[in-house]
Amino acid sequence: MNNLVSVPKNGSLANSNLNQNRPMLSNWLEDIFNRDLPSVFTSNFNTGMTLPKVNIKETADAFMVEMAVPGLEKSDFHVAIDNQVLSIATDAKAEKEYKDEHYTRREFGYSSFKRTFTLPESVNDEHINASYTDGILNVLLPKKEEAKQKPARSINIT
């Protein structure tokens, strides 16, 4: 009688005498829940749109946030700052009606997102500005004067 016990990668114990050709219900359920979620669960159900990608750059004078969000209007965005947290959100609604001699079809869509970023203390929140051009939202976060990098200089030895 063979009583060997194998330990699979997931750490659970399995009896090696079980019929290996018949999948166990627990293995099947484990496979379902341990898989990566399909992109449909991580995207907006109406449009397939995922959260927009963001580039953040730092210069000596400011931080710059670039967000790729094509197909929207400036009026679709809500950019706000509250307690050192920058939030960028949008609600976009689209409605189209098609008429033909035999049918009428109406399609509508709704997409929204909200991204938030905790700002460093060095940001001068009184002078933040945003622009939207060619599908790119740009948010300029200027630094406070005392936080700006000073140019290198030589010190004379006396």
Neighbours of 99 (CB within 10 A): 9
Architecture of domain 49-147: Sandwich (2.60)
Token pair belonging to 113: 């997102």
Neighbours of 75 (CB within 10 A): 9
pLDDT for res 21: 54
pLDDT for res 26: 56
- CATH 2.60.40.790 boundaries in the chain: 49-147
pTM of the model: 0.58
What distance in Å separates the CA atoms of residue 63 and residue 86, rounded to the nearest whole number?
Answer: 12
What does pLDDT average to over the chain?
76
Q: Dump pLDDT digits (tens) for 45-76.
A: 444 457 889 999 999 899 999 999 988 889 98
Confidence label for 36 from pLDDT (cuts 50, 70 and 90): low
